[in-house]
Structures are given as C-alpha cells and as structure tokens.
Structure 1
Amino acid sequence: MDPLEESPWGESAPSQTSQPETSQSQDDAPKPSAPSTSSTRPSRAAPRRMVAQPTRLEAVDDDPLGPLGPLGGPATPGTPDLGQDAPPVPPQKEEMVIRTTMPPSQTRRAGPADPHRVDDADDDYNRSSGPRAPPPVQAAHPSAVRTTTNPSVSVEQASRPTFHISVGDPHKVGDFTSSHVQYAVRTEAYKEPEFEVKRRYRDFLWLYNTLHGNNPGIVVPPPPEKQAVGRFETNFVESRRAALEKMLNKIAAHPTLQLDGDLKLFLESESFNVDIKHKERREPIPTESKGVLGSLGISVGGGSKFVEQDDWFHDRKVYLDALENQLRALLKAMETMVGQRKMMAEAAGDFSASLHALSTVELSPSLSGPLDALSELQLTIRDVYDRQAQQDVLTFGIILEEYIRLIGSVKQAFAQRQKAFYSWHTAESEMQKKKTTQDKLLRQGKSQQDRLNQMGAEVADAERKCHHARMLFEDMGRLMRAELDRFEKEKVEDFKSGVETFLESAVEAQKELIEKWETFLMQLDADDDETVFYRPPVTEGNKPAGADQDGAAAHLGHVLLGSAVRFESLGSFAGVAQPAYR
C-alpha cells in the first residue's frame, strides 16, 4: 500500500521517499487502482488549509486499527525527517484520494465471499497485500448416468422397424415322394408382438429371387445352396437352419430391404402359397431380363462385351474374385480339418472299446482299474472331438459359406449394372436413329407434316427413355458403392466374431481335455488308496499264489499234512498195519 497512508496526518514521509514505495505498492495492488493514484497526484495538489482536521480525526476514531490496519504504525527507522529538504506533499488530499480509491480496489480484490472461509474480513487486514489464492476446488467426479446413457441415434434410424427373427423347429413332413423339411419362423415386429409361420426351403428361395428382382443393385443375402444327398441328416439340417436364420436377420437389418412388401408377406402370411399365386397373377416376378428397365420400356442386354469404364468398380471386381478363391480354399482346408477331427473321434472310440475289453479279462485289480479309467477317458475325448467338429462348422464354416454366397450375390449386382449400361447405350442409339430420321424428313420439306409431328413425338420419347436409362445406371453405381462399403464393414465384424468364437471353442475343448488327463494322473498317483480303484478283499480262497514265500510254505505244509492224514485213514480202513509215525 501507499506509505502516505501510514499516518493519518501525513507527516511521517516526504515526497522523495514516497515514490519508490508507492511504485512497490502499485506492483502489489491490483492494476485498476494503481493508475488512478499516480495519475491524479500532481493535479490534486492544493493548500493544506483546504482539508479540515475534524474530518481526518473522525475517520481515525471510527476505525481503531487505522485506515490501513496494521500498516498504520510508526514509520520505519530509515525514513528521513519531514522538514529537512523540501516541504511535504499535501497529505490530506492524497489521503482522501486513497480513501476514496482503495475500498473499491479492495472490494474487487476480495471477490465473492467464500462460504468455506468465515474470517475473510479479518484476513484482509492481517495479511500482506496481494492477490488472494483461490479456494481449493474438488475435481468433478464422472457421473454414472453419463456412462450408462445410450448414444443418440438419428430420427431415420429410430423410425425403422426392429426385427427379432428366429428359425427353429426343423422337422420332416410329407410322404416318401414329397418329403421336405419345414421350419418355424418366429418374428417380433409389424402388427403383432410375435407371430410364427411355417416355411420350407423353396419359400426362402422365392424371397431371395423376389427381393433381387425388386431391388437392382442391392446385395441381397442369399439362402444356402440346395443339396439332394443327405438333406435329412441332423448336422446338415442344423447348419441349414442357422444359415436361413442369418439370412433373414441380415435382410431385416438392411435399410431398404426391410421395407419391401414381399418380406412382410413372407413373415406374416398364414396362407403363403395362395398369396404368392395371387401376387404373381397381378404382378409377375421381375426376371433377369425384365426388371426396372423392362418396366420403362427399355430393352435389356447387349451383344458386345462389356468394358468397365470406372476404375473403382474394376478394382472391386478383381478384389472379389481373389477373395472368393481364398475363401473357397479356406473352406476346403476347414472341411479337411473337420473330417480329421471326426476320424480322431472314431479312433478314440475304438481305442476305448479295446481298453475296456482288456480290463474285463485282466485278473489283477491294480491293472484292470486304470485300464477301465483310461477307457472312460477316451470316450470323453471322443465326445470332445465330435462336439468341436460340429462347433467349427456352425461357428466359422457357416461364415465362409455365407460370404462365398454373398460374393455371388455381389456379382449378380455387377451383372445388373452391366445390363443397365447396355440399356443406356441401346436407348441412346435408338434416340440417334430417331433423330437421323427426323433430320431427313426436315430436309425433304413440309410436305410430310404429319410424319414430322409423329417423328418429333418419337424423338421426345426416345430422349426420355435415354435419360431414364442413364439416370438408372448412375443411381445404380452410387447404390452399389454404398452396398460394397456395407459389405466390407459387415465382413470385418462377422469374421472377427467368428474367429473369436472359433478360438474360444478350441480353448475350452483343450481345457476340458487337460482337466480330464490331470484327473486321470491323480488317480494313478493315488493307486494305493482303496477308494480310488475297487479291490476285492483278500481271503484264503482267492489269495493269489506267490503273494509271499512264507504264506506259500505254510499252505504247502497244510496240504501235505492233510494228505498224510487221509492216507492214514485209508490204510486203517483197509486193515493194513501202519507203522507208527511218532
């Protein structure tokens, strides 16, 4: 603070010594108050008589600690006398300026009251001037609600229907000539909370072909391939059921296919065969040659070979061909591995049967018990190999087969785009022919006005068809780009999930085998314990020969003694005098 305010009379410091201390106090004080003091000091110089003493004394008496608190004490020893060099600067004016300017600066420096510190008013006087340190603030703890809140979704995604489709209960129906497998399709969507319909394989195939014709350029998930041999086997039926369920869920998750009316008909109709017959009469199913292009009156197909003009689509076709070859090779290797697992399971079963047969003919319980336990262990190994082979097919093999079929569906979308390109160029050539004919008629004059009017209408219609074909080709290209990006994202997610499930299954199988082997080894180590392997009690009748030498000698002595007694009794019975043995 300014030393001019150390004494209420202003007689303790001259003007020369007040300047350094005033600059120091200006450094400590806040910036807004310092310039006001220094800038007004020369202009406010006035005669000492203009300040009334009663006002000054009244201010001191009101504040017992002085206008500046503890700093209003005696001056420092090094302060020179007031009247030695020059007359002092009028202190009353400076005092009034300071007293009018310091309280606002102190108020600004104090800031808002801290509820945790009730002695802030006393601390303003007891501590040195300077900015006060802010009170400690605790770090904000993360809210539990924020972590559990689901991320927001767009209005378009929220308005889409949510499907939960399951395919189950496969059972064989029909007689020998018309036997087939029927599946129960359960869906939670549309008008009812849950409903169930019965569908067979050809119904799924109809759905795929219909969606493929209704939505050119979209990659429709295809059903599994048809198989004539072994179609009623348990493993094949289960793998087909899982593939059909995945097909329906992928179709229902597609933003365009889920809005198709044929999907709703497939999932809801109780009389499906009758409904599709009526639908085919009203609206024939679009085929490969008659789709959206055919509905516009544009001829589909072309005789020349298609040359891809877009490098992006060319690179994707090369990539898909290489990916299909690699997936087929991987599927073949996996089928070989699954076959070897099944062979190992059969070998473990044969080994178990041989061990069990050996344990039944073995007389020693100390050997027959471990043999029988090893036989049971081999049966467990057989079951583990069988289960692991089936899980490999259902977890990873089904993904390989699915994406091989999906690549085929992508190639069909490429073929549809190629046909759209042919249709565009065909419509363009037809338009050029019409324009050429119109130009010839115009050169002939106005003698054929009716023919010119007809030709003008034909040219306009040809231009319209050419424009529609061109727009359809470009829209199909943009749609296929989005579909291929979606294909790549789903492929990464599906293969990641399939590989994780495959590894978890393999790890669990190995853990189970390790646990079984460790249990068997513990039983072998504890073979002296009668509770581990059952041993019949040893008696005189079933005690094995040669168990110990003393027992054999005693047994032989009893036999000889018994023979001698019997011989003596026989001799007495025959009347033959026997010599005395004693």
Structure 2
Amino acid sequence: MDYEEDLNAPVWDELGAKDEPAIAELGERFNSLSNKDQIQDTNNELPEAAKTVAEGAQAWNSTNQEKKENLLKKLAPEEDPLLDIQTTVKESNIDSPVKAKEEPLFSGSTYIAFPELSDVSAQGDETNEAPSSGSHRSSTKPQVLFNSARIRRRPLSSHALDRNATTEAKISDPLGEIKKQEEFVDESLEEQQVPESAGSAKGTSILQQVNEPLFKLSPRKPSGVKDNEETLESDVSGVTKKDEEESKLIEFNIEVKDPVKVGELTSMHVEYTVESRSEVFEGSYAKVIRRYSDFRWLYRQLQNNHWGSIIPPPPEKQTVGRFKQDFIENRRCQMERMLRRIAGKASLQSDPDFLLFLKSEQFASDAKKREHITGSGASNDSNDLSEIYISEIQLLGAEDAATVLKNGGLDAESQKRFMNISFSSPPKYVEVDDFFVEQRQNIDLLEEKLSQLDKSLVSVDCQRNELASVTEEFARTIDSLATLEVTKKSSDLLTNFAQTHRRIKESLERTSLQEALTLGITLDEYLRLLSSLKAVFNQRAKLGQYLAIVEGDMTRKQSSLERLQKNSGQSSLDKLSTNKNEYLVLKRRFEIIKKSWQDVGNRIKVEISSFDAEKVKDFRNSMEIFLESAIEGQKEAIELWETFYQNNL
C-alpha cells in the first residue's frame, strides 16, 4: 500500500518496539477506518479518542483534495490564458504569429499532459478516494501543447526546400558506426585451424612465438618512390622486390662464443668461435675461429659486392680497455647480431664471401685471393664505417679496369690534367634528386637524436651504479651498528635492514645490465647502421663523381674528334682513328657508370623503406623489454620492503 497516495490509510508508529504485544481492540478499530462508509456507522460506538482521529482524517482528505484541484487549475486551465491577448490583436487588425485557440502554440513537443479537471473529479466521485499517481498521469490521447513553427521573413524557394529534404534524408546517427564497431560478437572459444597456405607458422617453437612482436607493421614507401615503381630492385639484381620477399630464406643458426686471448704484448688479440648450422654446409654444420679484423674484412667485402645495400656493420675499433671482460662480451654480442642480420637478408646470405667467412679453414689466404679478384681493398680498412671504395674491376670489368688502373684510376687522369692546367679541384658531384637530399638530412637528424639518447642512457646507468655502490656502503654501516648488540631484537632488526639494502643493490645491478643488453645495444647498433646507410649515399655520390669526370673527358674527346674530321688530311687519318676508338671507350664507360649510378639510387630507395620498418620494430621491442624490466625492478623493491616490514615491524 502506498501511504503517500492513500491518505485514508491507518497511521501507526513503525519505530515502536518490535517485542510489544499487539492490542487487539485498537487493531480492529483502525482497520474499520479504511472505508469512509463504515466511519459514519461506527461513530456512535467508538470512544471519543477514535472519533477525533476519524474526524481529523476526513478534514485532511477534504483539504488535500481542494489543494489538488487548485493546482490542476493553475497547470492546465480550462480557458486559454492567451485568449485576451489574441482578442486584443484581432481588434487592432494586426497580423500576429499567435495561432488560434484550437491550434497548438509550438509543434514538435508532444508529451503526456495532465487530464482535465473534470476527469479527475469524476474519478474522485466514483471511488471516494484520493486518485493514485498513475491516474494523474494517464490519458487516452496525448495533448500537443506547443507548436514550434514560426513565420519566416523570407519564404524558402523550391530549390532550398529540395536541398533541405535531401539533407534530412542524408542525416544519420553519428554514433551508429561506432556502436556497430563496438557491438559484441559472440565468437567461439575453440582454437581456429589456420591453413598452411595462409602462412601459418608450422613447426615454430613456443619460444619463437613468444619473441614475436605484439604488432605487425606494414612496410611504408619512401616519399620519393612512386606507386607504379614496384620493380626497383629488378634494376639492380634482375629480381623484383615481390619475388625477393616471396623467396624462401635459407635458415641459418649462427653463434659467436668462447672468446680467448691469443698472443703476447703487441700481438695479443681475441679470437672467437663461430658455429653455424645450415643446409648449405656439408653435414649442416661449420665451426671456425675468427678474430675481430676478420669481421671488418667481411663488412668491406660485402659493401663492395652489393652497392646500395645497407650492410650490417661490425662494432667499432677500440684501443683502450679492449681486453676487459665486459668489453669482450659486449663485442661478442654485437658481432653475433651482425652475422645474424646478414644471414636474414636474401641478397646477402648467398654471397660467396659470407659463406667463405663461415666455413673456410684457411681464411687468411682465401681472403687475400678474394680481395685480389674483386679489387675491394677490404684489408685497407679505416675506422670510419661510412667511408667507401669503388672497385674499378667491379664497375668496368677486368679488361677495362686494367687499363684504368695503369693510369691510376678513373679520377687520377682528371686530377693530373687539372693540376697541370690550374690548381682547381676535380668536378664535384651535385645531387639532382631531392629525395636523396632530404633523406640525408633526416639521417643526420636521426643520428643526432640517437646520440643524445645514448648519452642520456649512459648517464642514467652511471647514476644507477653510483646508487648501488652507495647502497652497499650504507648496508655495511648498518651491519657495523648491528654488531654492537645493544639488544637481541635491535641487532636482528638492523641485520635484516642491511640485508634488504644488499638485495636492492643487486636488483639495481641487474636492471642496469638488462638495459645495457637491450636498449643500449639497440642504440649502439643503429648508430653504426646509420654509418652504413651514409656509406650507400657516398657510393652514389662517388659514382656520380666518376660519371661527371668521364662525361667531361668524353665531351673533350668528341670536340677533338670533330676538329680532326674537319682537317681530314692523309697524315691525320691515324690520329682520327685513335681518337675515335678512345671516344668509343669513354662512351662505353659513361653508359656503364650511368647505369650503375641509377641502379644504386633505386636500390637505396628500397633499402630506406626496409630500414624504416625494421627501425620501428626493433626499437619497439627494445622499449617493451626495457619497460618490463623497469616494472619488475620496482615490484621487486616493493616486495623486499613489504617482506621486511611484515617480518620485523
């Protein structure tokens, strides 16, 4: 029963004691008050107190009914309150936007209105009870109290009306698409079988699946590559980029381990064991001994064999502290990553010099033979990884290269001629493609940012190591206090306190080592990769310089040939024939160098696109490991302090 709506309901104190016995006489008397008709019959039989209660209930009911009727008259008057205003306007003959009494004032606001007062009074007469809340708000027909239509100063044209209709037809719920995307779809919890043709990782171990990145990145095209340039790589190697991506890579498992110091004093160096497992070897296994200079030779040799390709670089040279254990371990890890990166590229893993490095038992003599055949000059290695050497044998062929090398190289004749005429330098190459200029600037900017990040990481590592040493010193101080043994309890407390600090110090050292092996190695590797990337730009610039030199020689030889043809005497026939042969040789060189220059440019564009994708993936993985290590270090410190607090305090 709703006691707020039904005012004739009996009233009693609900806060009374629950254990009080009920009074039968009062219960019967108050139950008889629930009906108005019964109140009149029982007035003579009730005592004076009950009569007073009944009369008060009737007075409250009548007063409340009058208040409700007055409220309904104010909210829903039977007469229109704007009738007087409308009559005044009509008498003054002024057009007014006010509508007639029968029309609503504003349209578009339809709601359930209060019923008329006559309906309420009729209901009250039938039931002799206060109407319920539902009776006040129920009505057989919704009433429109307002009409939002208004008069426009300028009527709309037919074109505007059609446009509004079209706009309204196109209007849709803006959140519809989002709701559709976020709609829950019941999916099966069973593992779906992926067909092998769809690229399923058949035979992949659980460890390899765990090490895979969380996100798959689609390769991004460089800004200078057009959409229709899908076969840039075919200009260099005759194989399209799509074919190379679809080609199956040969699986290599390479390990660099067991560093050993060899020699004494000035001849002392470190040798590493390189173990390789692949189907290309006899018995699918190869084990050789290599030193650091051999890795440098491999880098220069691959750089000579694959112009325009970014060759994974070896670690840089260092003379001070190169026999420290930490430095040797760091260098071993970097050289292992170098070999694995080379083995992960289809264009490099089948290189004969790479296979020679992995399996040759007499590497010193075999390396000299390969260097002589290719003319790479790999033994004359500089510390700067961005410096390059263009082999004339690789560029022009063995026959023409022999003629050029007798004269000191392609740029030797130009330098000799310019020095004889004047003190000016040979012509310099000016890049004509804006893509390479922009990319070179981006490389310089990226190198600056990575160098700053590397310095910051080194600073953080130094501060963490300093904090670890201070923590160890503080723990020793606490131990000295514990040895005083003022009380047994205080001595145990101080001992456990010092032990907690030592464990925190060990956690700091592990975190520092983890950062050095993940983010630190990645930063160092990409700083060296940027040097290798600069090398491919230098290769294009060097070929462009050779192209300008040969073009200048060819132009001068052509003008000389034209002069001899004008003065075609019997004595000048031999000179004419000689100059013509020289001109044809220069023209052939020019065409070969120009093609190589164009091929290297196309190859660089493909390599930059792959480099950008690999860069994002590697740094993302390193940052994930870095953050996980930091979180685990903080959790370990919190757990140590909580354990100390629970056990001792």
Bin the TM-score by the shorter chain: 0.5 to 0.7
Distance 1:511 1:250 in 2: 35
What is the one-letter code of the residue matched to 2:391?
K
Distance 2:356 2:431 in 1: 38
Q: Which of 325, 333, 336 is residue 245 of structure 1 equivalent to?
A: 336
Q: What does residue 483 of structure 1 align with?
A: 607
What is the one-letter code of the residue matched to 1:500?
E
CA contact (8 A) 1:341 1:385 kept: yes
TM-score, structure 2 length as denominator?
0.56
Alignment pair present for 1:193 and 2:284: yes
Structure 2 residues without counterparts, runs of 5 or longer: 1-186, 202-241, 379-388, 412-424
Deviates more, 1:315-324 or 1:210-219: 210-219
Closer/same/farther in 2, CA of residues 172 and 310 from structure 1, 3 Å limit:
same
What is the one-letter code of the residue matched to 1:183?
Y
CA contact (8 A) 1:214 1:286 kept: no
Question: Aligned with 2:193: secondary structure?
Answer: helix
Closer/same/farther in 2, CA of residues 289 and 376 from structure 1, 3 Å limit:
same
CA contact (8 A) 1:388 1:505 kept: yes
Closer/same/farther in 2, CA of residues 450 and 179 from structure 1, 3 Å limit:
closer
CA shift at 1:310, angstroms? 0.7
Distance 1:384 1:143 in 2: 40
CA shift at 1:206, angstroms? 1.1
Closer/same/farther in 2, CA of residues 147 and 517 from structure 1, 3 Å limit:
farther
Distance 2:490 2:306 in 1: 71
CA shift at 1:256, angstroms? 1.7
What is the one-letter code of the residue matched to 1:166?
E
Deviations 1:36-73 (A, max 9, x none): xxxxxxxxxxxxxxxxxxxxxxxxxxxxxxxxxxxxxx
Q: What does residue 131 of structure 2 align with?
A: none
Distance 1:322 1:261 in 2: 36
Question: Aligned with 2:290: secondary structure?
Answer: strand
TM-score, structure 1 length as denominator?
0.63
Q: Which of 167, 173, 178 is residue 267 of structure 2 equivalent to?
A: 178
What is the one-letter code of the residue matched to 1:146?
V
Q: Which of 411, 422, 435 is residue 545 of structure 2 equivalent to?
A: 422
Closer/same/farther in 2, CA of residues 464 and 274 from structure 1, 3 Å limit:
closer
Distance 1:470 1:279 in 2: 26
Give the alignment's Cα RMSD to 1 decimal: 2.5
When Rg is computed on C-alpha atoms for both structures, the one with the higher figure is 1
Alignment pair present for 1:518 and 2:518: no
Q: Which of 465, 484, 498 is residue 375 of structure 1 equivalent to?
A: 498
CA contact (8 A) 1:300 1:422 kept: no
Q: Which of 341, 346, 363 is residue 272 of structure 1 equivalent to?
A: 363
CA shift at 1:159, angstroms? 4.1
Structure 1 residues without counterparts, runs of 5 or longer: 1-138, 526-582
CA shift at 1:455, angstroms? 2.7
Question: Aligned with 1:166: secondary structure?
Answer: strand
Closer/same/farther in 2, CA of residues 278 and 455 from structure 1, 3 Å limit:
closer
Alignment pair present for 1:322 and 2:370: no
Question: Aligned with 1:144: secondary structure?
Answer: coil
Distance 1:507 1:515 in 2: 12
Q: After the TM superposition, which residues 21-32 of structure 1 pair with which residues of structure 2 at under 5 Å, given as runs?
A: none
Q: After the TM superposition, which residues 391-402 of structure 1 pair with which residues of structure 2 at under 5 Å, given as runs?
A: 391-402=514-525
Greater relative contact order: 1 or 2 (C-alpha under 8 angstroms, separation 6 or more)?
2
Q: What percentage of residue pairs aligned between the two structures are identical?
A: 35
Question: Aligned with 1:165: secondary structure?
Answer: strand
Q: After the TM superposition, which residues 425-464 of structure 1 pair with which residues of structure 2 at under 5 Å, given as runs?
A: 425-445=548-568, 447=570, 448-464=572-588
Deviations 1:177-214 (A, max 9, x none): 32222212111122232222111111111111111122
CA contact (8 A) 2:304 2:390 kept: no
Q: What does residue 432 of structure 2 align with?
A: 309
Alignment pair present for 1:231 and 2:339: no
Q: What does residue 362 of structure 1 align with?
A: 485
CA contact (8 A) 1:300 1:420 kept: no
CA contact (8 A) 2:371 2:377 kept: no
Distance 1:233 1:147 in 2: 51
Q: What does residue 217 of structure 1 align with?
A: 308
Deviations 1:455-492 (A, max 9, x none): 32222222111111111111110011111111111111
What is the one-letter code of the residue matched to 2:593?
A
Deviates more, 1:160-169 or 1:309-318: 160-169
Closer/same/farther in 2, CA of residues 143 and 335 from structure 1, 3 Å limit:
closer
CA contact (8 A) 2:428 2:545 kept: no
CA shift at 1:294, angstroms? 5.9
CA shift at 1:148, angstroms? 6.9
Q: After the TM superposition, which residues 506-545 of structure 1 pair with which residues of structure 2 at under 5 Å, given as runs?
A: 506-525=630-649
CA shift at 1:280, angstroms? 3.9
What is the one-letter code of the residue matched to 1:293?
L
Count of residue pairs brought into register by the alignment: 388
CA shift at 1:418, angstroms? 0.5
What is the one-letter code of the residue matched to 1:224?
P
Question: Aligned with 2:194: secondary structure?
Answer: helix
Distance 1:148 1:343 in 2: 54
Distance 1:250 1:169 in 2: 20
Distance 1:331 1:398 in 2: 10
Distance 1:273 1:498 in 2: 37
Q: After the TM superposition, which residues 558-577 of structure 1 pair with which residues of structure 2 at under 5 Å, given as runs?
A: none
Deviates more, 1:379-388 or 1:167-176: 167-176
